[in-house]
Structure 1
């Protein structure tokens, strides 16, 4: 006789029924039989209803707190616009849920700090979908850096540049809703990947310059059309982070910039023993004027989103797996805020 008791699937709710909730969060949850999506919430009820139909979710809402009270989920994915991450994450944590939140963590470091404090107080997992760090490439390079193969890494360059890649949907050009443009949208991803590989060294200060030259005069690009009169974010931002050990991280990010390539998305690391490129992972040095490959992956790992979601769920289930946690999310938010502050003031900004 089998006395084993069947374990009920964890109940999952999703806040924000947009593209990332569809293509990443719900698509991953649907692959697991130990999870059950029970509710979805969106400020546009008709969008929540369409989402619920697609994923066979029984309940849809346009009020977050009502959903949390009625559905009583164990896990919540926060996929709402940046401006609402803070209130939605806090509501989910207060309801006793584990939370996977899209990047950025919030609009300010103060908000990200409150979010991590509440997660610790509640004893719940708060993770952020910084998916590039979950690539096999990033994990390989982190091992190489931590084991000393590159020696002292004194210069890192994180690049997230688009020639004409202003998103033509959502609120990506609205600073009040997003908190900024390419830095907080795509640059933050490469910043997190670089920090992860480096082992999150403490920063001393930052300097940055931002530009708004093209987004207010152009109106279309590879990702559709936008209204230049409503374009309130930066076109591009270029910054330098100085770490307490004296090493530097340079960050280059843009939605629209006159470069030859459609986009550049990568991180390079320069050490005194070897250098490396993130996508695909390649570790190399110079031998008598010739490039010598130490480790080289032929193709970058494109299963990053899946690995990010999988790590979060496994962590919730008690496995000792690494996630992009609330503490590291706070550090990344601090750096982003300092870069924006420096660009506005035109001076170095110290990291407390």
Structure 2
């Protein structure tokens, strides 16, 4: 059993800087960040200096070949998730890959199979799962308080929240827009709370109505002239157990509130909204609402990174698994395919990993 986890960071952008590196360091003696790489080496060098990381590379394959690592965080544009994960697993590393899992379901399945064959952990950066709201609600669900959850509504809506930094509006590098950036978080949260049922059919529509025009940006200016993603996506997902999810997500839409992230669940014994957490039930011929008087203030990323480290050191199963990544990626790709074809899409054969 490992006593200290030797970690490498692939990608030196915002998520590595704000979430991964600082929270690895909070793990204290359990973790040593020994290497970092980025195609823009100056970015990696800057973080290496700031956080005292001894080895810097501009190529992740070179880093993996030359530095003995136990685990890596993959904090790159989505297009790099698959090749970087496969390379890291091939070198015997555990992997925490940022969301979404990959660009295609086939890639996600190959990643899950590679992790299983290597006997290594593959988990994804769905930090909303680690929110205290979700943890409390999961206990209620596991205790049968909501009964059979047969319907959910997923919302990730911004009024004018198009990212003007990074490659968020570049379809070639990201694979899509709000659906795979913010919508995917709420979709994963819903699926997790519903027990990750197997998808059956999806119907999706996407729009590009505001992002390709100059306008007000509540997150700053963006490159509207080279905007190649959708700015809104909507969809319906049905599952083989009869459940369904309605989804709506946007970087920019003419709505009242700027940043709404929520999952609503409906079961035959109760329902719930997650953000903020409120549970709805009928008891003793009375409709009641249940709200927690206190929730932990611990940073969700801190919990996520801490649990990943412990899973690697102790050999336990992480909260997010490779097989769940496959199901999620199938749904995402199915929604985009449906939007392109203008018709519902069947999810195909069962995933076996």
Alpha-carbon distance change, 303 to 195 in structure 1, aligned in 2, over 3 angstroms: same
| Matched residues, number | 347
Equivalent residue in structure 2 for 1:276, among 268, 272, 279:
272
Question: Shift in Å at residue 296 of structure 1?
Answer: 3.2
Gaps of at least 5 residues in structure 1 are 1-6
Q: What is the match of residue 194 of structure 1?
A: 190
Deviating more after overlay: 172-181 vs 323-332: 323-332
In the TM superposition, 1:1-352 aligns within 5 A as: 9-31=4-26, 32-286=28-282, 291-297=287-293, 303-318=299-314, 320=316, 322-352=318-348
The answer on whether the counterparts of 1:154 and 1:247 sit within 8 Å (CA) in structure 2 is: yes
Gaps of at least 5 residues in structure 2 are 349-353
Question: Shift in Å at residue 327 of structure 1?
Answer: 1.0
Question: Shift in Å at residue 301 of structure 1?
Answer: 5.3
Distance 1:125 1:282 in 2: 33
Higher relative contact order (CA 8 A, sep 6+): 2
Alpha-carbon distance change, 298 to 68 in structure 1, aligned in 2, over 3 angstroms: same
SS of the residue corresponding to residue 100 of structure 1 reads: strand
Kindly provide the CA deviation profile for residues 61-109 of structure 1, in whole angstroms up to 9, marking residues without a partner as x.
Answer: 1011111111111111100110111111111111111111100111000
Alpha-carbon distance change, 102 to 165 in structure 1, aligned in 2, over 3 angstroms: same
Distance 1:95 1:320 in 2: 20
Distance 1:104 1:72 in 2: 27
Runs ≥4 in structure 1, deviation > 6 angstroms?
287-290
Give the TM-score normalised by the residue count of structure 1: 0.94
Question: Shift in Å at residue 11 of structure 1?
Answer: 1.3
RMSD: 1.9
Distance 1:28 1:84 in 2: 23
Alpha-carbon distance change, 85 to 220 in structure 1, aligned in 2, over 3 angstroms: farther
Deviating more after overlay: 200-209 vs 298-307: 298-307
The answer on whether the counterparts of 1:283 and 1:296 sit within 8 Å (CA) in structure 2 is: no
SS of the residue corresponding to residue 146 of structure 2 reads: coil
The answer on whether the counterparts of 1:240 and 1:248 sit within 8 Å (CA) in structure 2 is: yes
